[in-house]
Structure 1
Amino acid sequence: MISIKDLSKVFQTKDQEVRAVDDLSLTIDKGEIFGVIGYSGAGKSTFIRLLNRLEDPTGGNISVDDQDLTAMNKNQLRIARQEIGMIFQHFNLLWSRTVFDNIAFPLEIAGVSKQERKNRVNELIDLVGLSGRGNSYPSQLSGGQKQRVGIARALANNPKVLLCDEATSALDPETTDSILDLLVDINEKLGLTIVLITHEMHVIRKICHQVAVMEDGRIVEQGDVLDVFLHPKQKVTKRFVDQVMGDPEKEHSLQLINDKYQTGEILRLHFVGERTNQALISDVSRKFEVDVNILHGKITQTQKGAYGTMFVQFVGEKNEIDRAVQYIESTSVEVEVSPSV
């Protein structure tokens, strides 16, 4: 659906060149919710603006549905952009227009007839959950409602791709979740390909199928969201995973436990899918002569299933602990022995 090859963007400042996007290649499948995550300055905002050529690339190619956007002239690009919707962090609404007229605006530009515009706008107002608010102005709406208008406007021309530029960053957590639920609903109902950028791993965890991690203009890690949660390879990725699964006091807590007890072994257990719902710890306590102390644990949900992690302390004879670990591994739960701290 979207093919990106050797994409780069260099900005020339007074003193130096800034390589915001550096030789980036990526493939995004049709109907996928694809997340790009990175900290400030990673290049992700530039990247998403390159996808519809709000920024012109310095080098490389971008193809959407087998159309090479980088080879298009202005007229061709204007037509192609009708198939690429975009929503923004700060909504970018026209404050002098009503909800209805904001959503209708791209249809006016496209030359759609008045009756068709009316039908389409009313359909979109219902789709995004704004029934009865068509005559309201942006100043009369909450942040979540404004973003729903932005989403409806982006969908006006029946695009094949929806780009989301930090679409929930200006919203509170509860409103963020409602907007993310709406995006999932739109993806499923319309088969829309969604590309979103964010610095929040909660957003990736909740709705994305695939994720790419950006740092210094490059993709440093990429994969299925559940796989990335389970096996983050890069330091920056581990920091993002810890946003959702981590505990900033965890290492300090483990240090205190080791200092206090200085016995047994501390294990990190990874649970995936149905294993998160099984009473593994009680099974181990019944089957083996080990004392089990639960130190830290958390379960979260991704689009591909549940993922849990738990730190436990096993106290007992070494051979009995080893047998217990072998039993846990036989259940497909991953076991990582924490080094002494």
Structure 2
Amino acid sequence: MITMHQLSKIFRTPDQDIAAVDTLDLSINEGEIFGIIGYSGAGKSTLVRLLNMLEQPTAGQVTVGDKNMSELKGRELRKARQEISMIFQHFNLLWSRTVKDNIAFPLEIAGMSKQEKDSRVNELIDLVGLTGRGDAYPSQLSGGQKQRVGIARALANNPKVLLCDEATSALDPKTTDAILELLTDINKKLGLTIVLITHEMHVIRKICHRVAVMEEGRIVEQGNVLEVFRYPQEDMTKEFVKQITEPEETMDAVYELIDDENGPVVKLRFVGEDAEQPVMTELVRHCGVGVNILQGKLSKTQHGSYGTLFVQLQGDDEHLKEALRFLEEHRVKAEVLQHD
């Protein structure tokens, strides 16, 4: 659906040339939710603007569907952009217009008749969960409702691709989850390809099928979200995965509990179906060890579950060795933690 080949964007200044996007290759499949994650300055926002040619590439090409966006000009480019919509961190609504009028704006530009326009606007209001709020102004809406208006407006012309540039960064966690659920629902109902730019691994974990990690203008790692969670290769990826699996406050609390006299503290990782099996019950039953559960978390991804559990194992050396072998045989990755 979307292909980037040797894509580069260099910003030239009097002092230096800055490669915001550096000879990047990436493919995104039709109908998938693809996440691009990176810290500020990684080049994410520049990349997403290259997809709809709001930024012209210095080199390389972008193909969306069967169109080479890099070669389009004028009317052809404007027509191609109608199939690529975008939502933003700060909503970009027209504050003097009602919800209905905000959503209708791209339909007015497209020259749609009033009857068709009104029907389409009402359909979109229902789709994004704003029934009854059509006559409200943006100042009368919550942050989540404003983003729902932004999503409805982006869908007005039946695009094939939806670009989301930090679309949940200005929202609280509960509202973020509600918007992510809405995007998932839209993806399933409309078969829409969604490209989601973020610096939050929670957003990736919640709805994305695949993810690419971006650093200094390059893609340093990519893959199925669950596999990236399971086997992060790059240091940058490991940092992002820890946002979900090993929050700093969790690790501080766990390290305070390390006490060799009471048995080793072990970090266990469960992936996919293994995360939902009664492995710990079987461990106690078969290996004769005591298990003191210290901390645990189970996260859902689009491709399965990912669980992290911190336990203290109690027993003699032979039983402890047997327990670690048992965990390995049951595809549970076990790491005995030590004080730094």
What is the TM-score with the length of structure 2 in the denominator?
Answer: 0.95
* Alpha-carbon displacement from aligned partner over 1:112-150 (angstroms, at most 9, x marks no partner): 222111111111111111111212211111111111111
Q: Does 1:146 align with 2:146?
A: yes
Q: Does 1:29 align with 2:29?
A: yes
SS at match of 2:248: coil
Name the counterpart of 2:218: 218
Where does the alignment leave 5 or more consecutive residues of structure 2 unmatched?
Answer: none
* Alpha-carbon displacement from aligned partner over 1:229-276 (angstroms, at most 9, x marks no partner): 111111111111111111314544454444x32564443221123332
SS at match of 2:331: coil
Distance in 1 separating the partners of 2:251 and 2:105: 53
Name the counterpart of 1:286: 285
Name the counterpart of 1:297: 296
Name the counterpart of 1:310: 309
* Alpha-carbon displacement from aligned partner over 1:179-221 (angstroms, at most 9, x marks no partner): 1110000000000000010111111111100011111111111
SS at match of 2:36: strand
Letter in 2 for 1:314: L
Moved more, 289-298 or 54-63: 289-298
| Superposed counterparts of 1:23-172, under 5 Å | 23-172=23-172
SS at match of 2:80: helix
Distance in 2 separating the partners of 1:95 and 1:316: 66
Distance in 2 separating the partners of 1:43 and 1:254: 35
SS at match of 1:300: strand
SS at match of 1:86: strand
C-alpha distance 100-255 of structure 1, shift in aligned 2 (>3 A): closer
Distance in 2 separating the partners of 1:249 and 1:185: 33
Q: Do the aligned residues in 1 keep the contact of 2:254 with 2:295 (CA within 8 Å)? A: no
Q: Could you tell me how far 1:324 is from its partner in structure 2?
A: 1.8
Letter in 2 for 1:324: A
SS at match of 1:21: strand
C-alpha distance 277-56 of structure 1, shift in aligned 2 (>3 A): same
Name the counterpart of 1:182: 182
Distance in 2 separating the partners of 1:99 and 1:263: 61
C-alpha distance 252-172 of structure 1, shift in aligned 2 (>3 A): closer
SS at match of 2:82: helix
Aligned-residue Cα RMSD (Å) equals: 1.7
Distance in 2 separating the partners of 1:255 and 1:29: 42
| Superposed counterparts of 1:201-212, under 5 Å | 201-212=201-212
Distance in 2 separating the partners of 1:120 and 1:235: 47
Where does the alignment leave 5 or more consecutive residues of structure 1 unmatched?
Answer: none
Distance in 2 separating the partners of 1:257 and 1:109: 63
Name the counterpart of 1:248: 248
Distance in 2 separating the partners of 1:315 and 1:217: 48
Q: Could you tell me how far 1:310 is from its partner in structure 2?
A: 1.4
- Name the count of aligned residue pairs: 340
* Alpha-carbon displacement from aligned partner over 1:59-93 (angstroms, at most 9, x marks no partner): 11100002100011121110000100100111111
Distance in 2 separating the partners of 1:272 and 1:230: 7
C-alpha distance 155-252 of structure 1, shift in aligned 2 (>3 A): closer
Name the counterpart of 1:267: 266
Distance in 1 separating the partners of 2:49 and 2:138: 25
What is the TM-score with the length of structure 1 in the denominator?
Answer: 0.95
Letter in 2 for 1:85: S
Distance in 1 separating the partners of 2:42 and 2:308: 28
